[in-house]
Amino acid sequence: MEACKLLAGCPFFNDKMPIESGMGKLYKQNYCEGDFSKCARFKVATTAGREKVPIDLYPNMFDLAENIIKENKK
C-alpha cells in the first residue's frame, strides 16, 4: 500500500512522537503506511487546510477532526 503523501512534513510524527517504536510505530503502520485516508490529521489537512491541524491531534481523534472540519471548511 502507498504511504501517506503528508508523512514527510507531518509535525505529529516528526516532532511530537517517535515513530520507530511503541505507539508511534503502530500509528505509522495503521495510518501512514495503511489506510491514511482514515487518519484524522490527513482528513483535516486535506479538507480544512494543513494550518488547521492541531499539533496534538492524534490520527485516531475522529470526532475532534470532524468538529475542526465543520468549523473550517475551505
pLDDT band at 1 (very low <50, low <70, confident <90, very high): low
Q: Among 42, 40, 43, 13, which Cα is nearest to 25's? A: 13
Stated pTM of the model: 0.84
| 70, three cell numbers | 465543520
H helix intervals, the chain: 11, 22-27, 40-47, 62-71
Q: Average per-residue pLDDT in the chain? A: 85
Taking the domains of the chain in order of start, what are their residue ranges?
7-71
% residues pLDDT > 90 (the chain): 41
Residue 45 buriedness (CB in 10 A; 0-12 / 13-18 / 19+): buried
> CB-based contacts of 6: which residues, under 8 Å, 6+ apart?
36, 41, 42, 45, 50
